[in-house]
Structure 1
Amino acid sequence: MASLGVNIDHIANVRQARRTVEPDPVPMALLAELGGADGITVHLREDRRHIQDRDVDLLRQTVRSRLNLEMAATEDMVLIALRVQPDMVTLVPERREEVTTEGGLDVSSQRVDLTSKINRLQDAGIPVSLFVDPERGQLEACRDCRARWVELHTGPYAEAKWTDQPSELARLTEATALARAMGLRVNAGHGLTYQNVEPVAAIEGMEELNIGHTIVARAVAVGLQQAVREMKALVQNPRRDPLFGSY
């Protein structure tokens, strides 16, 4: 049964649109936990476009589930993580001009640098996950870098036409099995919604789904606690849809 990590970056997006103090993502994280969130995820971007340093500091003091800090693999971010001590760090690619993360981290081309940063973080007691596309070469590189987790990029699955979704789901299913055979633990996320989450949640070996935008969008209508409760129910009790075959 997969658990649910709730990304609250988009709450901070609303605040930063007016450069004011509300909505504050810190108390909103509490509401997400009350709704059933198993963890809180925030992406501290280098340009600080949404989550701010003060948010991360306060969340570390107040989150009672798990705090997952997404960040670029830079020296400055490693130093922040070592100071804050989140429960997990997820290293992601980052470009200033992108609206949101556009693809997985190219671990294969950065093995030496990533291995050094991963070792520093994990030696300090912070397990590291790498956000990657569901490809054998990238998973092998994650293993070689000694990361403990991978987070599979579900964007292509989420954005695929319904006729193409089964093949994208198969890629995620195969990548999950391969990663676990390599000794890696597996999370997934990006672009998942109330309409497409259940087949991914049902993948054997999938441990956690990190979901944000669709929950915040739903919360505009029904409130954050209820939005999280609804997503948690889908993640933990996914239906087996014959359209997708066996998964």
Structure 2
Amino acid sequence: MAEADLSDPRRLRAEIRAGRFDAPTAGVGGDALQANLVILGAADAADFLRYCQANPRPCPLLAVGAPGDPSLPALGEGIDLRHDLPRYHVWKTGELAERRTDIADLWRDDMVSFALGCSFSFEAALSDAGIPVRHQDAGRNVAMYRTNIPTRPAGRFSGPLVVSMRAMPAADAIEAVQICARYPLAHGAPVHLGDPALIGIADLAAPDYGDPPDIRDGDIPVFWACGVTPQAAIVEARPDIAITHAPGHMLVTDIPADRAEAILTGIRPTIT
């Protein structure tokens, strides 16, 4: 039996739905836009939408589902959020209660889904420019850290900024900034370069999420706003139930990452 083409987003989602792929999505899906996921009951959805609007760097809003509808047609044909992510986290009153590969039996008619941009979306562009993406090379998840930088609160939601980190030679860092600035829906340019202690990170070898990084002589750490930030906000808000992607295990959309801004402009949700 031939191996599935994991560079094709639809085939990748089919493999995930069939239970044949449950790994981090860095380096798969080709050049497709990847998305973080937050699912909440309708009672919490308005506050969370405002939280995203108040914090666009960690929470670049791509699409919002209709209550009770697990599809996101703006992001891909046939997407079903109950099945199409490799791994999910289930939160109850702010505590991580379960880790799952399918959430069909938890779905409720009042659930509202939020897809937020992900930094995995620009990694192909970094690789094409010859900039190392070390967690992919090592077959690891990206390292992610809670910082001492507060996000802007909205309703019940607040908490610290979470960042992802990619170590690279210092000579590549400026080019990485320029490349990633072209991907505002994937968190855009980094929020910090250099000394992690300045943003409250004590030990790069002990990330709060993901895997320890591969840092080599001559590398500097470069930090991007991260879509795990809402999970820290869920801990603070303590909604009765929330479902998110497991860090690093994203929804892979049908949208080319380098055209996402043009394709999604005008159809992304706004607050009225």
TM interval, short-chain normalised:
under 0.3
TM-score norm. by structure 1 comes to 0.25
> TM-score w.r.t. structure 2 length?
0.24
More helix by share: 1
Which structure exhibits the higher relative contact order, with contacts defined as CA atoms closer than 8 Å and separated by 6 or more residues?
2
